[in-house]
Amino acid sequence: MATRLKEIDAVVIGMGWAGAIMARELTLAGLHVVGLERGPDRRPAQDFALPGIRDELKYQQRLELMGDNSIDTITFRNRPDQLSLPIRRWSAFLPGEGVGGTGNHWGGAHWRFQPDDFQLRSYLEGRYGAKAVPDTMTIQDWPVGYDELEPYYDRFDKVCGVSGKAGNLKGRKIQGGNVFEGPRSSEYPNRAMPSSEGGSMFAAASTSLGYHPFPVPFSAASAPYKNIYGVSMGACQECGFCTRTACEASAKASAVTTIMPALRQDPKFELRTRAFVSKLLYDKAAKRVTGVLYTDMKTGMEYEQPANIVVLSGFVFTNTHMLLHSGIGEPYDHLTGKGQVGRNYCYQFEAPAVAFFPEKELNPYMGSPGGGVVIDDFNNASFDHSGLGFVGGGYFAGSSGGAPPIDGRSVPAGTPSWGSQWKRETVKWYYHAVHFNTQGSVYAHRDNYMDIDPTYRDALGRPLLRLTYNGTDNDHAMSRYLLSRLEGIIKAMGPAHYELRPRPKNFTIVPYQSTHNAGGTIMGTNPGNSVVNRYLQTWDAHNLFVMGASTFPQQHGYNPTGTLGALALWSADKIKTSYLKNPGPLVHV
Amino acid sequence: MAKGTIPRRDFLAAAGAAGAGVAAAALPAAKAQAAPAQSAEVPTETWLVLTAEEAAFYSAVADTIIPADALSPSGTECGIPVFIDRQLASAWGAGARMYRAGPFHPGMPEQGYQLPLTPCDFFSAGVVAANAWSHKTYGKTFDRLTPDQRIEALTVMETGKAEFEDFDARAFFQRLLTITMEGFFSDPIYGGNRGKASWRMLGFPGLPATYADKIEEYRNKRYVAEPRSIADFS
């Protein structure tokens, strides 16, 4: 029998980016907030310190900062007619765990979606005709526009101290920035990071072909920075270890480097770590949740935490699973198309390439993801898709650097994988590789979804979430096209050798590809096309707000975190200005 | 035994014990220290989890995957069997943070690893299967093969043409290759990459890796530094 605790103003489930933003904004509004985090605390001064943080085996290979699959995982299959089996250890994607969540180990690529992405279906049908979108493609317009979200994108930039170069300031296009982006109300808080040599080579070749290169917007401070919450960040040290690990300089933005230092000082906030939320307590008749049930993993005790507002801000899988397991909303049925919870699961279609330049000295272990150079000429609304046979797109990035020795060695295909010749080739090419990536969109398909697994259970005895996903013909065609355009740029760089790495036909949960998952609790205009409204409030419980990429109707050709943070700030603002005064549905249909 | 304190001489002797001098043969510089006549009596407690058979197997594999040449010492000299022993004895080796509940099905390749075995169990079973196959094919366990036979045997495993009894030879080889490379390239605090041999080979400077003031200075110019490990800063 769970022990019932005293009711509080708001409880936040999951202290990653969205949860920390919401906790900070609600405490600033005077609410008492409890943050429940199922993993451990992460304190940069102790946990992310030199020299131990520079441990490629521990962080990059053994995945120190990732979720514990022995406690909780998902099952996976490519098609609805297959047997779904558990992901026994994360690989293709790496959800984080602990305070800061996945934001501790991200690479810091900080993007906004294009204005037309927010009206995707209308844009495509308007430009290419009503048949441009196949029947099986269940994409939809967002219920919020770029212009509405822009102030919150801007605010999130100033939480993170993002380093970059604007390409569209209030409608004025600026060469050297992203001329395809929506209008920004202000320049990035910090100047762009210096390009890696590989990035500079990519920029020169792109320019020669008439494209529009610019530095990747990087969610780290290129110089010491104090953010809008009064938290100080250090300057990026170009260590070359960024992704899958954390930052000893508190330069890379994460909840623990940009928000938690302020929250920890706030008596209105209480953090409970190793507090595993198992269920939302739902009063269907009243259309509200009364609180949450959680297990304190340190004592084994189960608690009921009543709350006036419940913020569900876990990873995509956690959010979707929590609603399904708590009986909130109607589960999606892929055969009938009915039900909303679990619908429109989308991955990210990244396809890489590598090229070798024996005459260049690229010091591959130096640098940051901010040293990458990108072009956005092949994203959704950047170019004409007429006659191409697909919709969608993505940006291309080129960079050298960030190649630690266990996982960062590239050799041409056909090189032996061991022995003396392998060694010679490894040494021959280590300093001379430039890496590329295409960050492709994934547009929702009716057979890509999440539901409850009939067989496997987690450590608390709950049935696992089941993911059914495969790459679609549209997304494969899109990705092949992006790679073919990228190939032109690579050729213009004049490499001794290069290789494109197209995606395999079937999605596979090994090896690592991208942690960008989306959908499951999507946003929309009414309960018939979504789980949450434009303010991330669930249609089925007015005091339940769901945060994160699980609310994206589909995946666009950019990394999700910039939009995820902006949405959390947008939702928090609406709660503060409207919901607290008059609790109830914020959108009436 | 505290981490990082396995005496080199004990390690070499233990590796040689079951390796019938093969490991020692690959280690001409160390041979004099290794007192080969007594090696068979060296207690197996030198290892945290490896049996003598497993230690001999990993030494032979490490020296085939990472042969001694102008670029680096051999895998065994670099401490790879020590690394493997400690990894298999670690929480990771014991299957920490791995979902291990049944039911079990082989599944599709897209569904990834689906066995109940922990990494430690998987490698243990793999060595038994590999040596049984080696015995059937060559009349000897893997560690007793000639260097050329070892290369041939690993190639057959890698290409999926070796048929182990009730065990996936190719999957075993891939994991063997991965853990060997991890041992060669990881920070020396884990027992492999002795003397930062692989970092010297690559030109990887290790720590502290604070390059903010070096990006421009070393643009298209090789940066050279004596590699330093976590232990050098601890």
Q: Give the model's pLDDT for residue A284.
A: 97
> In this predicted model, what pLDDT tens digit does every residue of A310-368 receive, in sequence order?
999 999 999 999 999 999 999 999 999 999 999 999 999 999 999 999 999 999 999 99
Question: B189: which chain A residues are within 8 Å (Cβ-Cβ)?
Answer: 55
Q: Do A371 and B220 touch (CB under 8 A)?
A: no
**Which of A421-425, B25-29, B76-80 is the least confident region?**
B25-29
Is any Cβ of chain B less than 8 angstroms from the Cβ of A414?
Answer: no
Q: Do A78 and B71 touch (CB under 8 A)?
A: no
pLDDT higher than 80, residue A377? yes
User: Shortest CB distance from A418 goes to which of B110, B177, B203?
Assistant: B177
Q: Do A85 and B111 touch (CB under 8 A)?
A: yes
pLDDT higher than 50, residue A506? yes
Q: Residue A216: which of A486, A441, A433, A397 has the closest Cα? A: A397
Question: A418: which chain B residues are within 8 Å (Cβ-Cβ)?
Answer: 64-66, 154, 177, 180
Among chain B residues, CA nearest to A50: B208
Is any Cβ of chain B less than 8 angstroms from the Cβ of A81?
Answer: no
Neighbouring residues of B93: CB distance < 8 A, sequence distance ≥ 6:
B49, B87, B118, B119, B120
A168, β-bridge pairs: A173
> In this predicted model, what pLDDT tens digit does every residue of A34-61 receive, in sequence order?
999 999 999 999 999 999 999 999 999 9
Q: Do B202 and A406 touch (CB under 8 A)?
A: no
- Tell me, yes or no, whether B163 lies in a domain: yes
pLDDT higher than 90, residue A383? yes
> What number is the ipTM of this complex?
0.96
Residues of A annotated as part of the active site: 516
Overall fold of domain A1-109+217-348+441-471+514-589: FAD/NAD(P)-binding domain (3.50.50)
Label residue B18 by pLDDT band (50, 70, 90). very low
Q: Give the model's pLDDT for residue A171.
A: 98
Quote the CA–CA distance of A324 and A464 in Å, as a whole number.
10
CA distances from A160 to A21, A566, B196 (A): 11, 11, 37
A420 near B66, Cβ under 8 Å? no
Q: Give the model's pLDDT for residue B8.
A: 35
Label residue B39 by pLDDT band (50, 70, 90). very low
Mean pLDDT of B107-130: 98
Question: B93: which chain A residues are within 8 Å (Cβ-Cβ)?
Answer: none
Q: Give the model's pLDDT for residue B234.
A: 86
Label residue A150 by pLDDT band (50, 70, 90). very high
Q: Give the model's pLDDT for residue B148.
A: 98
- Tell me, yes or no, whether B209 lies in a domain: no
Distance from CA of A82 to the nearest CA of B (A): 9
Question: A197: which chain B residues are within 8 Å (Cβ-Cβ)?
Answer: 219-220
Alpha helices in A259-374 (DSSP H): 260-263, 316-326
- Tell me, yes or no, whether B22 lies in a domain: yes
Question: A63: which chain B residues are within 8 Å (Cβ-Cβ)?
Answer: 97
Interface of A with B in 114-143 (CB under 8 A): none
Alpha helices in chain B (DSSP H): 8-19, 22-25, 52-65, 80-89, 119-138, 147-158, 169-185, 197-202
Q: Give the model's pLDDT for residue B46.
A: 86
Q: Do B110 and A430 touch (CB under 8 A)?
A: no
pLDDT higher than 70, residue B34? no
Q: Give the model's pLDDT for residue B117.
A: 98
Question: Residue B176, Cα to own-chain centre: how many angstroms?
Answer: 7
Q: Give the model's pLDDT for residue B194.
A: 97
Interface test with B, best of A38, A50, A54, A69 (most B CBs within 10 A): A54
> In this predicted model, what pLDDT tens digit does every residue of A209-266 receive, in sequence order?
999 999 999 999 999 999 999 999 999 999 999 999 999 999 999 999 999 999 999 9
pLDDT higher than 80, residue A151? yes
Q: Do B207 and A62 touch (CB under 8 A)?
A: no
A397, β-bridge pairs: A374, A437
pLDDT higher than 90, residue B42? no
Among chain B residues, CA nearest to A70: B99
- Tell me, yes or no, whether B177 lies in a domain: yes
Q: Give the model's pLDDT for residue B144.
A: 97
Distance from CA of A332 to the nearest CA of B (A): 23
Mean pLDDT of B82-94: 98
Q: Do B114 and A85 touch (CB under 8 A)?
A: yes
pLDDT higher than 80, residue B14? no
Q: Which helix (H) or strand (E) holds A283?
A: strand A275-283
pLDDT higher than 50, residue A446? yes
pLDDT higher than 70, residue A515? yes
Quote the CA–CA distance of B113 and B126 in Å, as a whole number.
15
pLDDT higher than 50, residue A201? yes
pLDDT higher than 60, residue B224? yes
Mean pLDDT of B139-164: 97
Q: Do A405 and B185 touch (CB under 8 A)?
A: yes
In chain B, how many domains are there?
1
Dihedral, CA atoms, B26, B28, B34, B40, nearest 10 degrees? 40
Among chain A residues, CA nearest to B212: A237
Task: Give me chain A's average pLDDT, please.
Answer: 98
Distance from CA of A274 to the nearest CA of B (A): 15
User: Shortest CB distance from B202 goes to which of A238, A405, A456?
Assistant: A405
Domain ranges of chain A: 1-109+217-348+441-471+514-589, 190-216+350-440+472-505
Q: Do B230 and A51 touch (CB under 8 A)?
A: yes
CA distances from A64 to A44, A104, B225 (A): 14, 11, 28
Distance from CA of B24 to the nearest CA of A (A): 19
CA distances from A402 to A362, A532, B109, B186 (A): 11, 38, 30, 15
Quote the CA–CA distance of A449 and A443 in Å, as a whole number.
12
Q: Do A430 and B202 touch (CB under 8 A)?
A: yes
CA distances from A211 to A205, A206, A460, B1, B69 (A): 9, 5, 53, 60, 47
Q: Which residues of B6-22 are buried (b: 16+ CB within 10 A; e: fewer)?
A: beeebbbbbbbbbbbeb
Label residue A1 by pLDDT band (50, 70, 90). confident
Q: Give the model's pLDDT for residue A422.
A: 98
Is any Cβ of chain B less than 8 angstroms from the Cβ of A388?
Answer: no
Label residue B6 by pLDDT band (50, 70, 90). very low
Q: Do B215 and A78 touch (CB under 8 A)?
A: no
> In this predicted model, what pLDDT tens digit does every residue of A172-186 receive, in sequence order?
999 999 999 999 999
How is A401-465 classified by DSSP, letter by letter? ----TTT-----TTS-SSHHHHHHHHHHHHTTEEEEEEEE-B--BTT-EEEEEEEEE-TTSPEEE
Query: Count of CB contacts below 8 A, A vs B?
Result: 175
| Full domain range(s) for residue B138 | 8-97+113-202
User: Shortest CB distance from A89 goes to which of B98, B223, B232?
Assistant: B98
- Tell me, yes or no, whether B233 lies in a domain: no
Is any Cβ of chain B less than 8 angstroms from the Cβ of A451?
Answer: no
pLDDT higher than 90, residue B16? no
Q: Do A430 and B215 touch (CB under 8 A)?
A: no
Quote the CA–CA distance of A212 and A191 in Å, as a whole number.
18
Residue A79 dihedral angles phi and psi, to the nearest 5°: -135, 155
Interface test with A, best of B204, B207, B228, B229 (most A CBs within 10 A): B204
pLDDT higher than 60, residue B17? no
Q: Give the model's pLDDT for residue A153.
A: 98
pLDDT higher than 90, residue B13? no
> In this predicted model, what pLDDT tens digit does every residue of A117-143 receive, in sequence order?
999 999 999 999 999 999 999 999 999
Label residue A463 by pLDDT band (50, 70, 90). very high
Question: B215: which chain A residues are within 8 Å (Cβ-Cβ)?
Answer: 194, 196, 238, 366-367, 371
Sign, Cα dihedral of B51, B57, B63, B66: negative
Tokens of A77: 């299959």
Percent of chain B with pLDDT over 70: 81
Question: A366: which chain B residues are within 8 Å (Cβ-Cβ)?
Answer: 209, 211, 214-215, 218, 223
B14 near B41, Cβ under 8 Å? no
- Tell me, yes or no, whether B12 lies in a domain: yes
Q: Residue A423: which of B226, B17, B68, B128 has the closest Cα? A: B68
Question: A69: which chain B residues are within 8 Å (Cβ-Cβ)?
Answer: 97-99
- Tell me, yes or no, whether B105 lies in a domain: no
Interface of A with B in 348-367 (CB under 8 A): 360-363, 365-367
Pick the residue with more confidence: B21 or B102? B102
Question: B92: which chain A residues are within 8 Å (Cβ-Cβ)?
Answer: 62
Q: Give the model's pLDDT for residue B44.
A: 44
Distance from CA of B128 to the nearest CA of A (A): 22
- Tell me, yes or no, whether B217 lies in a domain: no
Among chain B residues, CA nearest to A195: B215
Quote the CA–CA distance of A143 and A527 in Å, as a whole number.
12
Q: Tell me, what DSSP letter sits at residue A502?
A: P
Interface of A with B in 191-250 (CB under 8 A): 194, 196-197, 235-241
Question: B171: which chain A residues are within 8 Å (Cβ-Cβ)?
Answer: none
